[in-house]
Amino acid sequence: MKPMDFVWSDGEILDNQKGGISFNQGLNYGAAIYEGIRFYKTSKCPAVFRLNEHIDRFLYSAKVLRMNLSFSKEELISGVKNGIIKNQLQEGYIRPLAFYSEPKMGINILDGKVQCLILAWPWEKREPKQVRLFTTSWKRSSPDSIDFKAKIAGYYGNNLLGFLEARENGFDEPLFLDRNNFITEGAVNNIFFVKDNILYTPTAKNILNGITRQSIIEIAKDLKIETKQKNLDLNFARGADEIFLTGTGVELEVVQEIKGIFQNKSEPLVTEKVASYYRKVARGEVPKYHHWLTYVS
């Protein structure tokens, strides 16, 4: 479909005869996929953490949305590396993003053109903060509504509603329950509970099974810390010793409070132990996990 010649934009009529006004099915229907990836300074050179797994998830998301990406896994990996090299970055965040890019009306995305971007930002160390969670009244989408293994922008409508409710109640982030009132995850993070030196985390059924979550479960074994994946409710959260969130961006983030349910009273020692080991693993300081790193030189 030819774009309109003139478009009303923020109160002005703009000339769009050459196109260029952002309107596409990606924006309109959330027909977009993305990843969030970290890379860290290591003793050798910058290294991307679990790049293979992130690109595999990106390709899976593309498949679910029937996107013709026209780039192979190898090409995307070299796109990520080039983004780091060209921007002369040492440590930062990468966002591969693909969206249906034609200025088309209607929901038929089949055979639509796709634009694929790889963005890279510097991300220096930041002070760890403790987060306060609000149990949102919006229930998490269920696995019979969406494919949780894909990371599709359109899903985040649910996450945004919870986020807004949490912020409007004076809290940092939402905590989502499923329709059976089991705990699922945050808006963009998975959740873990510490109880008697054991980690507990909701099963992968109703969540995005984060790459950080999977990494934590794996590396905790080295610290002789067992992880149990179970259905967990707010009553369980009430009795937890420590709670933390995980995600590529935050790594591990201590939960200070869940409104009316949990209050962190002491030093979260287990969380700190796991967080510090994770930081070492991600920065190439633990040889056993060097295969999780893609060096960029």
> Please, which residue, 133 or 211, has the CB nearer to ligand PMP?
211
User: From residue 108 to residue 147, what is the string marking binding to ligand PMP with x (rule CB under 6 A)?
Assistant: ----------------------------------------
The H helix count followed by the E strand count for the chain is 7, 17
Find the binder of ligand PMP among 120, 208, 220, 282 (CB under 6 A). Answer: 208
For residue 216, state whether it binds ligand PMP (rule: CB under 6 A).
no
Question: Residue 155: which residues within 8 A CB-CB, separation 6 or more?
Answer: 30, 141, 146
For residue 174, state whether it binds ligand PMP (rule: CB under 6 A).
no
Candidates 87-95, 221-229, 242-250, 285-293: pick the segment binding ligand PMP (CB under 6 A). Answer: 242-250
Write the DSSP string, 15-44.
E-TT--S---HHHHH--EEE--EEEEE-SS
CA separation, residue 40 to residues 62, 84, 268 (Å):
26, 11, 25
Q: Please, what is the end-to-end C-alpha distance for the chain in angstroms?
A: 44
Is 44 among the catalytic positions? no
**Is residue 45 within 8 Å of residue 297, measured between CB atoms?**
yes
Catalytic pick among 63, 73, 113, 151 = 151
Buried b (16+ CB within 10 A) or exposed e, 148-157: bebbbbebbe
CA separation, residue 90 to residues 34, 44, 59, 126, 294 (Å):
22, 11, 26, 15, 13
What's the closest the beta carbon of residue 60 comes to ligand PMP, in angstroms? 13
For residue 212, state whether it binds ligand PMP (rule: CB under 6 A).
yes
User: From residue 12 to residue 51, what is the string marking binding to ligand PMP with x (rule CB under 6 A)?
Assistant: ------------------------x---------------
Buried b (16+ CB within 10 A) or exposed e, 110-136: eebebebebebeeeeeeeeeebbbbbb
Residue at shortest CB range from ligand PMP: 210
How many residues bind to ligand PMP according to rule CB under 6 A?
A: 14
CB atoms within 10 A of CB 261: 17
For residue 92, state whether it binds ligand PMP (rule: CB under 6 A).
no
For residue 211, state whether it binds ligand PMP (rule: CB under 6 A).
yes
What's the closest the beta carbon of residue 3 comes to ligand PMP, in angstroms? 32
Question: Residue 12: which residues within 8 A CB-CB, separation 6 or more?
Answer: none
What's the closest the beta carbon of residue 213 comes to ligand PMP, in angstroms? 6
> Please, which residue, 21 or 155, has the CB nearer to ligand PMP?
155
Which residues have a catalytic role annotated?
151
Which parts of this chain interact with ligand PMP (CB under 6 A)?
Answer: 36, 159, 185, 188-190, 208, 210-213, 246-248
